[in-house]
Amino acid sequence: MMKDLTEKLLKRKAFFIIGSIVLVGAVFAFGAVFGYHQRPEIEKVLGVFNKEAEKPAEVDFEPFWKAWSIVEKRFAAANGIDRQKMVWGAISGALGSLGDPYTVFFPPEEKKLFESEIKGSFGGVGMEIGIKKGILTVVAPLKNTPASRAGIKAGDKILKIEDKETTDMSTEEAVKLIRGPEGTSVKLVLLSKGKEKPREVTVKREVIQIPVLDTEVREEGIFVIKLYNFSERSPVEFRGALRRMSQSGSQKLVLDLRNNPGGYLEAAVDIASWFLDTGKIVAREKFKNGEEQLYRSRGYKPFDNLPIVVLVNQGSASASEIVTGALRDHEAAKVVGEKTFGKGSVQEVIDVTNNTSMKVTIARWLTPNGEDISKNGITPNIEVEQKEDDEAKGRDTQMEKAIEILKDWR
């Protein structure tokens, strides 16, 4: 009997041990399953795609990965999910949240478009556009282009391109819609300054040949240089224009930068160097960490005390504002016209993948006296508005004021 009792106790002990193991195993399994479902959202997504991610420790990416996970599980896509397109969209959205219209992402197709713009091989309407106060705006129409012939003006707000509203549209997306094969047309809905109703304009695309400058000899020894852009050719062309000025016997200068959307910094520094002493600051480039890089005049300056009036308007941007600010701050010229566009930031293009890139603002331009061009633009010494009525009559009130100032200059 004692033997039977011992065997029963041993069986109960074994059953208890086995039961405990099973119970512990069940609890562990439940915990593992529960923990698996409660793991960070990024791990759920990465587990599916077998990718690694880098993320700053101070940023909570959980909402992003949870949203991605919800889309993966719940989105009823008719043609499936284009995950790569989702990635491009996420990057674009992140950059868009910065509130800087010049910091943008270029997916493959947009990157090709951007590169064609740099090379100059495109069909378009001939105008520079940008975002001003959150609205797609014409910076400047270029001379003798479809845009200028269609009556498009600096400051016109672009409300629609074809049938697409431009609200929240990036400049790159707008450029993509406006560009197209030579001979085709694009329909724009524009709202001009001082007008209550927008107007519709249809513009025929051409291969755009951008001019550099024009010159003119005016009465009483006044010479006019109309500079259209700051391209690679601008410094050489500008030197030739000054030579013609000297040969003409002119001793006073109007530098017309109206509707000049800018261009290369190198060209701006070179052109400013004709009017500033060696070492004078042309522009300050201020970086994120507060450090500044100074760009200084090379001091060509063949003219002593040359009377200069610089003409600007809201279509004067970027390199135009750098030159204008430098000559104004150093009192080398008087500035006449309207407040400039306010495009004073520096962008760098960085490859993200082999076929995508991003353009990111890395610094801001300041005038020699430290004025932030992006915040304020350049305010003229003498403000003169070019009214539409005067323009319709063929009267250039801003040029008239510049000539008046130079005639009285002593």
Span 133-146, pLDDT tens digits: 889 999 989 888 99
What's the confidence (pLDDT) of residue 238? Answer: 98
Where residue 403 falls (left for φ over 0; alpha for ψ -120 to 50; beta otherwise) is alpha
Residue among 256, 221, 212 at smallest CA distance from 386: 256
pLDDT classification of 48: cutoffs 50, 70, 90 = very low
Active-site annotation holder among 329, 334, 357, 401 = 329
Residues 6+ apart with CB under 8 A from 42: 53, 55, 61, 62, 65
Whole-number Å distance between alpha carbons of 19 and 178? 75
- What's the mean pLDDT in 43-67? 66
Where do the domains of the chain lie?
104-207, 213-408
- CATH topology for 213-408 is 2-enoyl-CoA Hydratase; Chain A, domain 1 (3.90.226)
Active-site annotation holder among 153, 157, 252, 343 = 343
Q: DSSP class of residue 145?
A: S
What's the confidence (pLDDT) of residue 392? Answer: 72
119 carries an active-site annotation: no
Active-site annotation holder among 234, 318, 320, 357 = 318
231 carries an active-site annotation: no
Per-residue model confidence as pLDDT tens digits over 368-404: 999 999 988 999 999 999 887 877 788 999 999 999 9
Range with the poorest average pLDDT among 170-174, 183-187, 324-328, 381-385:
170-174
Residue among 64, 102, 66 at smallest CA distance from 364: 102
pLDDT classification of 119: cutoffs 50, 70, 90 = low
What's the confidence (pLDDT) of residue 3? Answer: 45
- Tokens at residue 364, please? 């801001």
pTM higher than the cut 0.85: no
CATH class of 104-207: mainly beta
Question: What is residue 66's three-state secondary structure?
Answer: helix
195 carries an active-site annotation: no
Helices (H), 135-254: 146-149, 171-178, 234-248
Per-residue model confidence as pLDDT tens digits over 231-279: 889 999 999 999 999 999 999 999 999 999 998 899 999 999 999 999 9
- Tokens at residue 92, please? 């674009």
